[in-house]
Amino acid sequence: MNHTAKYFIFAVSFCSVAHGASLLQPQSFSKTANDLTFIQNAALESAGYEPYAETIYDASGHCVVGCAYPGITIQEDLQQAAENTVNAYAGISAADWAAFVAQMAAAQPVPSPQTPTNSVTVISENVAGPQPFAPVCTPRQNEIPRDQRRPLGEPLVGRPRITSPYGTRTHPVTGQTQSFHRAVDFAASVGTTVFTPASGTVARVWTDTSCGNGLRITHADGYETVYCHLSQVLVAQGEPVQAGCAVAKTGNTGRTTGPHLHYGIKHNGNYIDPTGMLGRG
């Protein structure tokens, strides 16, 4: 083999090794606001927290806060959310739906939802972390069967007014023209009792600047319920809870414009539209 051929083979081998080595080095990528939000949300989820269920979009319809993934548009987000909701509802049998509808029709609404009969004295808003576990089931939400496994029904007694439904809206705090509210907000004075609509296990109790005092409960078949802006949490992480039992008190903690309950339902890790599961049509 002549010197030219040897030099050519050496050069190719050297470049290949050098290129391979470069792939093993830490790579740097430019970050955008979307990327940073996505990374922060992923870090929160891996730590067991629940990122606040609000997505905000810019004037062009691209996500800037609370993104499912960087750069998602509001149209893509709404389509994916609708598919997740259909899949979650499809898992409930026709017999279970019929029983639920009959149950809600037979229930007697409590009058004056703005002043619930189960309200208590206003509790301090500055609750740091979980409260001592108190497995008290009195009062309980009598519309919820004790053995219910899926979150069918309402977390508050008396069918209080929904102040902000699931779906797109103008964000009440930031004033952004496009946002996606992935939960339902109920009007409730501070200290109103919150009930879990299904049996399950307390997955997380936490405090942050957006959700405030938060609670997440896991249920059967991949369902989870999420509660925000609480003044007090009555259960501890890892504890089992029975359907219809009291788990928290409503409040005004975190990023809010007034006292209310932020209530979300997840299925297989994705937020879904909880409206149908409330029994309001």
CA distance 88 to 106: 25
User: What's the confidence (pLDDT) of residue 157?
Assistant: 93
Token pair of 276 as six digits: 């149908």
- Of 254, 165, 272, nearest to 215 (Cα)? 254
CATH number at residue 84: 2.70.70.10
Q: For 140-176, what is each residue's pLDDT tens digit?
A: 888 899 889 999 999 999 999 999 898 887 766 666 5
Q: Is residue 173 part of a domain?
A: yes
Q: For 199-252, what is each residue's pLDDT tens digit?
A: 999 999 999 888 899 999 999 999 999 999 999 999 999 999 999 999 999 999
Q: For 79-98, what is each residue's pLDDT tens digit?
A: 998 999 999 999 888 888 88
Q: Is residue 76 part of a domain?
A: yes
CA distance 173 to 185: 14
Q: For 26-75, what is each residue's pLDDT tens digit?
A: 444 444 444 445 555 555 555 555 555 577 788 788 887 777 777 888 88
CA distance 143 to 157: 9
User: What's the confidence (pLDDT) of residue 16?
Assistant: 44
CA 250 to chain centre: 16
Mean pLDDT of 115-125: 32
Token pair of 264 as six digits: 């979300």
Task: Give the DSSP per-residue string, 103-155.
Answer: HHHHSPPPS-TTS-TT--S---S---SPPPP----SS--TTS-TT--S--S-S
Could you give the percent of the chain with pLDDT greater than 90? 38
Mean pLDDT of 250-267: 93
User: What's the confidence (pLDDT) of residue 265?
Assistant: 96
Q: Is residue 35 part of a domain?
A: no
Q: What is the pTM of this model?
A: 0.72
Q: Is residue 268 part of a domain?
A: yes
Integer-rounded Cα Rg, in Å, for the chain is 24
**Secondary structure class of 50 (helix, strand, coil):** coil
Report which of residues 256 and 119 the model is more confident about.
256
Say whether pLDDT at 133 is over 80: no
Tally of domains in the chain: 1
User: What's the confidence (pLDDT) of residue 17?
Assistant: 40
Report which of residues 209 and 108 the model is more confident about.
209
Q: Is residue 48 part of a domain?
A: no
Q: Is residue 119 part of a domain?
A: yes
Report which of residues 242 and 179 the model is more confident about.
242
Q: Which domain holds residue 235?
A: 54-278
Q: Is the peptide bond before 259 cis (omega within 30 degrees of 0)?
A: no
Cβ neighbours of residue 211 closer than 8 Å, sequence gap 6 or more: 50, 52, 228, 229, 254, 255, 262
CA distance 39 to 276: 32
Helix (H) or strand (E) holding 85: helix 74-90
CB 271 within 8 A of CB 84: yes
Indicate the Cα dihedral angle 276, 277, 279, 281, nearest 10°: 0
| CA 27 vs CA 21, 22, 23, 30, 140: distances in Å | 12, 9, 8, 10, 55
Report which of residues 97 and 133 the model is more confident about.
97
- 10 Å Cβ neighbour count for 266? 24
